Structure 1
């Protein structure tokens, strides 16, 4: 606990002297030269257009509000960013971090060892992995990291759940397999979903809506975080393997959705990212044969619907349609006439 606290304290204090102010904030304060100096540290001189784009600010009085992030053109990106943040929490990361001592004790470690592994080993592993991830996220790509990370997270959960469900977790070898898989899961999460989710949900937004959209996504993330923290202990006590299968399945689902909709943003300017989302809402190029099949089914369904509406409009035996667009009801009566219907609601 003392070691992890010292590491966090050093990192926090060091950031006060190392991390510069945001270029956009500096521009908003009229400190343009300082903003250019900061941009010079993080961008290449050849990226002049991107530098101009980063220094641009929304016109005065046109700052985006909450309703703007759901307007046509950015609504889909806001929903995608919120989706990724929701499922970042539904991968069970805070379930593992909050209740790590309990999880390790459940696996068979004594309380003292569980506390040491949960606070010391896990904390240092998360710090080191996150620091490394900051260097490779711009080389491997956001989409690639998220998809492969989600795949690995789902496998870790499935393996842990299977060990508990089969009873193998309660053997000496199974105990250490559980501990290893939990640590592996936290490392994979820190190197992929932890960084990529926050970064991606922000950079896919246009400059004008970036701030409110980022705030919305973080708020949704923390709301789900609270729900996971409140429900996980009872779930774990009732079914020891249940949370792992649940979070593993949700992680696999999020990975599949990300494969379809998460477009790569690495090496793209803000303008290019914006235009790519306008050109296509998905990141997958569907086979032409599949598209043709879907188009034919849609057209056939439209023709059937049109024929039904046409037949309904001419179904009345007198050539009139009392309720256009609906199927005509058959006239109630018999060969003896309509005397039995006198005074009724269906009398002509």
Structure 2
């Protein structure tokens, strides 16, 4: 594999790193800016979920500008937004400015969640596309770990520690913007924009032996997609597949994974750990997330998507239910950390590595882009709602009751997900994308 392909992939994947960093950095900063702005439970939930609302906006509206200006140009724009959110949240003089900066950051995350994988897939040789595409998910979990580690490193820097935590995100954002000047536009977009000579030059950089033939294939593909844009997304088999895609996206969030990623420091404090200890434990969870993701990446093409999801769902449900029950009993100890680490490992090695791969494979070519958009929207929407409601639920019940029942709820929904996957989910491993046209839900 040529070095420039690795450089282009690594550069685009920084969008995933910033995705992970900006969604997770709020974990350690939450108690400190909450005290600074005197936030109640609802406002804490809004401080987290406002960024996720931005994610929904970014994911929905980035497609059209990307078609016009190209994914590389729009990634530069998103890199600027990442810098703006780092400065805006870190220097915010009041809560309103803080929320506006969070929404801007969410738009950047949502856009990057769409464009970075697309760019990587469009510059990747076919024989390496799977491995290069998985780099984006790996970058996300590295970003999460870096966020937790930076929160820990900046914990004892004084009353403005939370500002430094947010400002630290500006460093990779600036690096992302600078590195994007050293990568080309994707050949697919160049052909679409009528720049065939430039497309041929980029394909030669990517070590494509017969650039002319590939350009002709791209032209035919673009013409085919244009002809099928009017196919009904919500009719017959298409509707069945879209409903499965929505369910997979929603159940991914109803495991409670992002409650752990956003609020684990608060969760550990609420069960008796000190702030320093709680943030240390988020770093352990972040490291577990990274290791399990690498393991899941090595298994997904061997074991299959469905089997990973089934095994992971049962494992996650067990850890969630035990955590909820022990919390209700008043138990204090590192057994709670073991349970959350086990849950994070189970998620990352199954649903974490599977969801985006599965969603991208589940739909036939003619509806893939639109159906993936609907599934992604569902994922972000449930993520936003659960993140907003969680601190409200905790504040509404005395001591550990809200926390315990929240985890029991997520344990039950994960069991329901298991039976859904077993009954309705198809195994996409080894199937061509065209074969998915014939998949029908059996009743």
User: Structure 2-normalised TM-score?
Assistant: 0.52
Q: What pairs up with 1:138-287 in 2 under 5 angstroms?
A: 138-167=301-330, 169-170=331-332, 175-237=333-395, 238=397, 239=401, 240-275=403-438, 277=439, 280-282=440-442
Matched, 1:132 2:274: no
Q: Distance between the aligned counterparts of 2:414 and 2:204, measured in 1? A: 40
- The alpha-carbon deviation at position 25 of structure 1 amounts to 5.1
- The alpha-carbon deviation at position 107 of structure 1 amounts to 2.5
Tell me how many residue pairs correspond in the alignment.
263
Q: Distance between the aligned counterparts of 2:238 and 2:354, measured in 1? A: 19
Cα deviations by residue, 1:264-313 (Å, 9 ceiling, x for unpaired): 111111122322x0xx424xxx9xxxxxxxxxxxxxxxxxxxxxxxxxxx
Q: Which residue of 1 aligns with 2:249?
A: 85
Q: Which residue of 1 aligns with 2:227?
A: 62
Cα deviations by residue, 1:303-334 (Å, 9 ceiling, x for unpaired): xxxxxxxxxxxxxxxxxxxxxxxxxxxxxxxx
Q: Distance between the aligned counterparts of 1:92 and 1:114, measured in 2? A: 18
Q: Say if 1:141 and 1:266, in contact at 8 Å, map to a contact too.
A: yes
Residue 151 to residue 111, structure 1, CA distance change in 2 (3 Å): same
Residue 187 to residue 19, structure 1, CA distance change in 2 (3 Å): farther
- The alpha-carbon deviation at position 72 of structure 1 amounts to 2.2
Residue 22 to residue 188, structure 1, CA distance change in 2 (3 Å): farther
- The alpha-carbon deviation at position 77 of structure 1 amounts to 0.5
Residue 131 to residue 27, structure 1, CA distance change in 2 (3 Å): farther
- The alpha-carbon deviation at position 222 of structure 1 amounts to 0.7
Question: Which ranges of 4 or more aligned residues in structure 1 deviate by more than 4 Å?
Answer: 5-30, 32-41
* Structure with greater Cα Rg: 1
Cα deviations by residue, 1:81-102 (Å, 9 ceiling, x for unpaired): 0111011111111111111001
Q: Say if 2:365 and 2:434, in contact at 8 Å, map to a contact too.
A: no
Question: What are the ranges of 5 or more consecutive residues in structure 1 without an aligned counterpart?
Answer: 42-51, 287-348
Residue 37 to residue 84, structure 1, CA distance change in 2 (3 Å): farther
Cα deviations by residue, 1:25-57 (Å, 9 ceiling, x for unpaired): 57646547966997989xxxxxxxxxx89x834
Question: What are the ranges of 5 or more consecutive residues in structure 2 without an aligned counterpart?
Answer: 1-24, 26-142, 151-168, 210-216
Q: Distance between the aligned counterparts of 1:38 and 1:73, measured in 2? A: 38
SS in 2 for 1:265: coil
Which structure carries more helix by proportion?
2
Q: Distance between the aligned counterparts of 1:96 and 1:187, measured in 2? A: 12
